[in-house]
Amino acid sequence: MSQRRIKITLIGAGSIVFTRNLLGDIFSYPELAACEVALHDIDAHRLGLAEMVARRLAAALGVTPTITAHLDRRSALADARFVISTIQVGGYKPATVTDFEIPKKFGLEQTIGDTLGIGGIMRGLRTIPVQLAMLKDMEEVCAPGAVHLNYVNPMAMITWALNQASTRIPTVGLCHSVQHTAHELAQDLGIPAHEIDYRCAGINHMAFYTKFEHKGVDLYPRLRQIHAEGKAPGWNRVRYEMLHQLGHFPTESSEHFSEYVPWFIKKGRADILEQYNIPLDEYPGRCQIFEHAWPYIERELQTPGSQDAQAMLAELHAAGIQVMPRMLEDSVRLLEGLNAIQPSVEYGGQIIHSMVSGQPRVVYGNVRNQGLIDNLPQGCAVEVPCLVDSNGVQPTRVGALPIQLAALMRTNVNVQELVVAAILQEKREHVYHAAMLDPHTAAVLDLAQIRAMVDELLLAHRDFLPDFLQA
């Protein structure tokens, strides 16, 4: 395959940070330097900015890809060998705001709401039909052997649904929680991250390190010591508690993990929130930051070096946004990093390069459980080590996980399965079942409240849902 014929399509290219990171990685590989990149978004203005970013990256790296921008999805997908999804159906407003505000009326509070819980359920119901339609387009117009790399949450629900619905287009779900967490723990331990040898497996946002070593020495005793001495970072207390209780460290952040289980966010228990430093409404807070930061970001994209990160930070503080301080710091790093070209931790570019060049790599991917993890349901979406080379993404068998970890994961898999069934079987009743079995929702609300909340959410989201879910 010639370089010019390698076409990579980004669906949701208006997600500027993802677009910058992924294309920066892709353009840095000589084998991909002359590829074709097709950008798609439904927002013409954001699409134009994404094209600007792509062309600036190519010029800075001295490469000559063919870059095109498309408002029409099928034209963007035509002849694509690789398709990367980074969409958010319904956006922050109105969809995400609705996901938080209606449950809050019933006394159900959330932190992120994009993976599990009632927020994750609703996001799955909005997103899976859109991606099923995209998969149909891919089957009809993409190049033979096309691969879909999905970055969209709820990752496990989407990966499960798409791989169950299509046998022609494989979907590999990609996340950065495994490698991010390894780097965070390396900092806690004072060890260079590249020297740590780990193995991880489970489901997306609830995988656990079954091996975590430095030069052949098990690092778990040192991590347990950090917890025992009360030295865990304040923002990471939930996960260190999970290490203490379950014997293994989970991959997703503490604010994420706290809403996948029934133990941390309880009505009238502010003491638990304080003890574990759990920030309610964390994701809406991030979105507020991005809304305030976006004018700075857009001006910096148009005129590099024109914006002052400290001025933006002062404006964010003045706006009185009540979120974790490190999220404000992240906004500054985002602005300052717009013009920096450095490798990201994302797997997308690595997978494409390995499949094109044949260079073998190991990544962590979300794939269909076909004999990979024995004590999780067959067919569900699991996150496991995968070998990638010219033969594609090849998941490795893990076997059985520690029984307590698999048992906890199955409480989440139950919810995922019901959301997938609701969409693929067109059964509205399964939406109620999913909410009833969600660990966090069930720990706070009774059955009547759950049904009433689901009804109100389905009605509020009617513009983004298929007909059979219309209230």
Closest alpha carbon to 128 in 166, 98, 99? 166
pTM attached to this predicted model: 0.95
SS3 71: coil
Would you list the domain boundaries of the chain? 3-91+113-173, 282-336
Three-state helix/strand/coil letters over 449-471: HHHHHHHHHHHHCHHHCCHHHCC
Q: Write b or e for each residue in 368-379: b if 16 or more Cβ atoms lie within 10 A of its Cβ, otherwise e.
A: bbeebbeebeee
Binding site residue list for substrate: 153
Q: Report the CATH fold assignment for 3-91+113-173.
A: Rossmann fold (3.40.50)
Strand pairing of 36-40 and 7-11?
parallel
In this prediction, residue 2 carries a pLDDT of 46
Give the position of tokens 């958010």: 88
Closest alpha carbon to 380 in 402, 351, 411, 405? 411
In this prediction, residue 322 carries a pLDDT of 58
What DSSP letter does each residue of 288-347 carry, written as one string?
HHHHHHHHHHHHHHHSTT---HHHHHHHHHHTT--S-HHHHHHHHHHHHTTT-----S-S
Binding site residue list for Mn(2+): 175, 205
Q: Which residues belong to the active site?
A: 176
Q: Average pLDDT for consecutive 10-residue bins of the chain (471 residues)?
A: 75 90 94 96 94 91 96 98 97 95 97 97 98 97 97 98 92 96 97 97 98 98 98 97 98 96 96 96 85 78 73 74 56 61 89 98 98 98 98 98 98 98 98 98 98 98 95 62
Binding site residue list: 153, 175, 205
CB atoms within 10 A of CB 187: 11
Integer Rg of the chain from CA:
22
As a whole number of angstroms, the distance between CA 444 and CA 226 comes to 31
As a whole number of angstroms, the distance between CA 32 and CA 6 comes to 8
In this prediction, residue 331 carries a pLDDT of 59
In this prediction, residue 324 carries a pLDDT of 53
CA torsion 429-435-439-445 (nearest 10°) is: -120
As a whole number of angstroms, the distance between CA 175 and CA 171 comes to 13
